Amino acid sequence: MNNTFDKPITTSIANIAPGSRRALLDACIAGAEASHAVFTRLYPERARLAADHADALNSQAASLPSPLAGLSVSIKDMIDCAGETTMAGSLVRAGAPPAATDAPVVARLRAAGAAILGKTNMTEFAYSGVGLNPHYGTPENPADTMLARIPGGSSSGAAVSVAAGLCVAGIGSDTGGSIRIPAALCGLVGFKPTARRVPTAGAIPLSTTLDTLCAMTRSVDDCILIDGIIADRALAIPALPLRGLRLAVPQTLVLDGMDAQVAEAFSNALDRLSAAGASIVTCAMPVLADYVTFGYFSSAEAFAWHRKLLAQHESGYDLRVAKRIRQGALISAADYIDLLAERAAWIGRIEALIAPFDALLMPTVPIVAPPVAALEASEEVFFRHNSLLLRNPAIFNQLDGCAVSLPCHAPQSLPVGLMIGGAAMADARILAVARAIEAALAATVSG
């Protein structure tokens, strides 16, 4: 198995001792250089400069620009770093002009003192929730040292960079779950904010309607910190005790097809939350099933961006990615305009339904990470698993909402994610609920 070296980072940002940034970073660089298919580029020298600067400030008792200063962060390979071509997990962009500037999220991380360790591998052009990449290899999920399992996608390398202890945060994108799916499968925290809060400029788009830039970390507090940096505005997170919170568990669609491990972990999590005083309310919510209609946004908008590149270089694409993008050619302008109106009406109905609750709860994904080999061997198995992985997370993208995936599995078990979600601009409340749930579940979750 690959990526089974000792983890340099095993704790959240607040627990990392000051004055040790360079030594920690050197261990992360060594691990990154030894890793398989996690990174597509490494930036060791510039990262060391950031770590040395943070250590120098610490030695002088000077203020750091942020708690992130000098700590390793990874950037998904669809986000611009100045001076190099953004490849987006593909080969067909070879020779495209290099980025003139850093994407705003990268510039904000650098200003906060982050040591950008490298660009991470991903599903080609971010178009699947599985994480396979035939061009650069597939990062293996560190949760299982005996069997190569998928990391989830599309932010596959981002997840493994954090789960393998090489970075305190992996910056990626979430269009239909591409942060929360790998967070769930790799045992991490993943936060998808309301899309409009974080600029997507400088990132190769999948769906301009749904794309969100965000992060995976080891804790809710770390996600809160990273979100404040890349959004350029820290949220005021209220202190919410679990007792008295009203948490809705929809019964339509989102519980279908759970494997035994997910079903047990989800049930146990609800029991613990109820015992801690939260009110768990089951609700039918059949309107949730209508979200599948809006899946055409990604294919239509992806085809608009890719159509010229596909015409010239389709043979260089991952065939499964090209197949999904080409579906967008079948959607007319009239159909697309209808989708916009239908989605707006659907959002209104959902927001009215969930208004009485503090958050929605559901399994992030209904299965634990399947073996890589099974999905590589069969297109039917690949697309069936891809649909299962995307199903629940995509609801919140279509809702234009926000959601957190938290680990909720028992120690020594394969990771399972619990998703806490809400409507647009409910980010502070959802993070507060997630922080309270994280504390309640801490005793049952593997480290």
Is 175 contained in some domain? yes
Asked whether the beta carbons of 195 and 183 are under 8 A apart, the reply is no
Asked whether the beta carbons of 94 and 85 are under 8 A apart, the reply is yes
User: Does a cis peptide bond (omega within 30 degrees of 0) precede residue 154?
Assistant: yes
- 323 contact partners, CB below 8 Å, separation of at least 6: none
- 386 contact partners, CB below 8 Å, separation of at least 6: 128, 129, 130
Q: 205 vs 201, 209, 331, CA distance in Å? A: 9, 9, 18
Look up the domain containing 137 and give its range: 1-242+370-447
d(CA 79, CA 257): 34
Is 268 contained in some domain? no
Is 41 contained in some domain? yes
Determine the 3-state secondary structure of 337 from DSSP.
helix
d(CA 58, CA 11): 20
| Whether pTM exceeds 0.85 | yes
- Residue for token pair 């980072």: 9
Q: How many domains does the chain have?
A: 1
Is 115 contained in some domain? yes
Is 306 contained in some domain? no
Q: So which residues are the catalytic ones?
A: 76, 154, 178
Within 10 Å of residue 239's Cβ, how many Cβ atoms? 7
Can you give the pLDDT of all 447 residues of the chain as single tens digits? 567 668 999 999 999 998 889 999 999 999 999 999 999 999 999 999 999 999 999 999 899 999 999 999 999 999 999 999 999 999 999 999 999 999 999 999 999 999 999 999 999 999 999 999 999 999 999 999 999 999 999 999 999 999 999 999 999 999 999 999 999 999 999 999 999 999 999 999 999 999 999 999 999 999 999 999 999 999 999 999 999 999 999 999 999 999 999 999 999 999 999 999 999 999 999 999 888 777 789 999 999 999 999 999 999 999 999 999 999 999 999 999 999 999 999 999 999 999 999 999 999 999 999 999 999 999 999 999 999 999 999 999 999 999 999 999 999 999 999 999 999 999 999 999 999 999 999 965 544
Is 200 contained in some domain? yes
Is 402 contained in some domain? yes
Is 295 contained in some domain? no
DSSP states of 66-121: STTTT-EEEEETTB--TTS---TT-STTTTSPPPSS--HHHHHHHHTT-EEEEEE-
d(CA 354, CA 173): 25
CATH number for the domain that contains residue 105: 3.90.1300.10
